[in-house]
Structure 1
Amino acid sequence: MQSKVTIVIPNYNGKKYMDDCLRSLGKQTMKAPVIIVDNGSEDGSVDAVKEMASKKPGRYPKLKFLELHENTGFANAVNVGIKAADSEYVILLNNDTVCEERMTEKLVRAIESQKKVFSVGAKMLSMKNPDVIDDAGDLYCALGWAFSPARDKNSKSYSKRCAVTTACAGAAIYRKYVFEQIGYFDEVHFCYLEDVDVGYRARIYGYKNLMEPSAIVYHAGSGTSGSRYNKFKEELTASNNLYFIYKNMPVLQLIFNLPLLIIGVIIKQVYFARKGLGMSYAKGLLMGIKKIIKHSDRKVPFSPGNLGNYFILEAELLVNCIRRLAG
């Protein structure tokens, strides 16, 4: 019997996390096959999982391995997994996670609640401190900032299903056929903000993104990049954000938001300078300009049929500015 949903796990040197992650998936109330897309790991991740699965075959769900020869980035890895999935829905899951038993079931029920839902994110809690939220859906504002309003809040908050700008791809379900309409994750991002980009793109086309609080996932966090703030992350995030703004906003929307976007860049530059990452952020902006020039053909084409969606998004961008600055 064909499964309704497939779980896709991109992996890069995640050997120390994989056993706990896969065992939690083996206990799910709704069973789903798992595709592990290995991004050229050098720590023996795939061999270790295969060995553990052979010793205790009932420990894990049904596994399929897709091995890439080098680290192609998160976006490409999940695209490979999504395209290989033979199911109506796909759940993207970070390797440094542990899922509560009803996670799959809850995400499927949530995405089936409305036909125009593209994605539903799980409520991600800190693995080190489960009383704290790691992510419960992301918002984007006219300052050019993506942010998770629930981050570091008490785990009992954000207890109702809600609409978000975009789901965090660290633990989220997607309606597979929509990718054929809006495009897949953009490999230009490599990693960081690729989920914001695809979620925002879906919004342009009139789809919704939700957060489902009853789908609980525990997240170790920074399993690959190392910490919440580091040079690699800030360079890529700054460059990807600039590219994201160019790609997804029509010219008139860019002009309208330009004063706020400039203010947003200045505030970020000062913020990261105080953290000793000012040069990394500035370098990232230059990288972003280069990405725009190189990949200008990837700009989302404006369609008059989506005009109403642009107005709705713009209103949200402005409201989210107030929400972000209010803390």
Structure 2
Amino acid sequence: MKGFSIIIVTWNALEHLKNFLPSVTKTDYPNFEIIIADNASDDGSKEWIKSTYPEIKIASFDRNYGYCGGNNRAVPFAEKEILLFLNNDVKVEKDWLYGLNKAFDDDLVAAAQPKMRSVTESDHFEYAGAAGGFIDKYGYTFCRGRIFDEVEKDEGQYDDKTDLFWASGAALAIRKDLFLKSGGFDEVFEFHMEEIDLCWRMQNQGFKITYAPESVVYHLGGGSLPMGSPRKVFYNFRNSLFMLWKNYSSTSLRKRFLLRIFLDIVAAWKALLEGKPKEWLAVARAHVHFLRSLGDLTRKRKALQQKRVTDDDPKTMLDISLIWQHFVKGVKKFSHLK
């Protein structure tokens, strides 16, 4: 049995801890530990954990480092071989770690995620991870079980184990040695898509990302970055450009990146015509910030490209346009993509 270090980043989320942490502590598995990465909470979170679950480790930080920074800084406290980054609004089934343990029997598997259902609608997949993440050739992300805002009911249609492009950061299991070797989460991302960037980097180095359907968790979601907020739109567009510039193959960067820029511009003007000027501004800000960061991103790209084991993009990048499939062809389910 592999050991799991479950790392939960939190900041002033005592109610979430009270609602969701008990299920994690009741995990039925012989080799795991729980680490709370506290980003300088002042709501009594640490005091409650110490009195209620004294066996849990607490990594206390001097300020709020967000998801990326909080997780990176908690890793030195981990003593097990598999890191499991778990959001503080996730409930788990008692036997959830067994399926994830099995996923790492393959030495080429760097990371894995469980099946992710919604807390509020438990027979449906959850937006952030569903049955595992994919990406189209222009960098638009989606899941088995979720395309844009279309979330499917879980009827066992995705119960097969399969390789993914990315595993959701809401419940991301990853080998500790590879996480450290890869440099961990890129903190320039702050929030959103940092796990996709990490999974892409590891695939470019010859490793695999996989899905453990036997493992089931329930995610509330939407806490730190509510759906539709201009802040979420900003991070969505900016971090996608960051990720593409860093990790695309040379061929894709040359052939596809400018078209992705064009598609972003179309999305921005669509938002404006729909009476959403704040979304238009968020997309514009994202592109300005990308251009200002281009020097640093290019240096990162050069270093990462030297570590590639193949000149091609990962096979798990689907050779489709999700925009065309969904908005023109009307495809709403992953299984209907062509």
* TM-score strictly above 0.5: yes
Equivalent residue number for residue 104 of structure 2: 111
SS of the equivalent of 2:305 reads coil
Paired residue type of 2:94: E
SS of the equivalent of 2:88 reads coil
| CA displacement at 1:259 relative to structure 2 | 4.8
Query: What is the alpha-carbon root mean square deviation over aligned residues?
Result: 2.3
| 1:306 paired to 2:309 | yes
Q: Distance in 1 between matches of 2:270 and 2:42?
A: 35
| CA displacement at 1:263 relative to structure 2 | 4.1
CA change 1:314–1:172 in 2 (3 A) is closer
SS of the equivalent of 2:209 reads strand
Q: Quick check: 2:59–2:77 contact (8 Å CA) kept in 1?
A: no
Q: Which structure 2 residues correspond to residues 1-327 of structure 1 after superposition, within 5 A?
A: 4-31=3-30, 32-53=32-53, 62-112=55-105, 114-134=106-126, 135=129, 136-151=131-146, 152-156=151-155, 157-225=157-225, 227-273=226-272, 274=274, 276=276, 277-299=279-301, 300-303=303-306, 306-307=309-310, 310-313=311-314, 316-319=317-320, 321=322, 326-327=331-332
Q: Distance in 1 between matches of 2:167 and 2:16?
A: 22
| CA displacement at 1:168 relative to structure 2 | 0.3
Equivalent residue number for residue 336 of structure 2: none
CA change 1:303–1:296 in 2 (3 A) is closer
| CA displacement at 1:314 relative to structure 2 | 6.6
Q: Quick check: 1:107–1:172 contact (8 Å CA) kept in 2?
A: no
Aligned pair count?
Answer: 315
Sequence identity, in percent?
23
TM-score by length of 2: 0.85
SS of the equivalent of 2:283 reads helix
SS of the equivalent of 2:160 reads coil
Paired residue type of 1:262: I
Residue segments in structure 2 that go unaligned for 5+ positions in a row: 333-338
SS of the equivalent of 1:218 reads strand
Paired residue type of 2:139: G
Indicate the larger mover: 65-74 or 135-144: 135-144
Indicate the larger mover: 5-14 or 44-53: 44-53
Residue segments in structure 1 that go unaligned for 5+ positions in a row: 55-61
Q: Quick check: 2:134–2:316 contact (8 Å CA) kept in 1?
A: no
Q: Deviations over 1:128-150 (max 9, x none)?
A: 11011012221122222122241
Indicate the larger mover: 264-273 or 274-283: 264-273
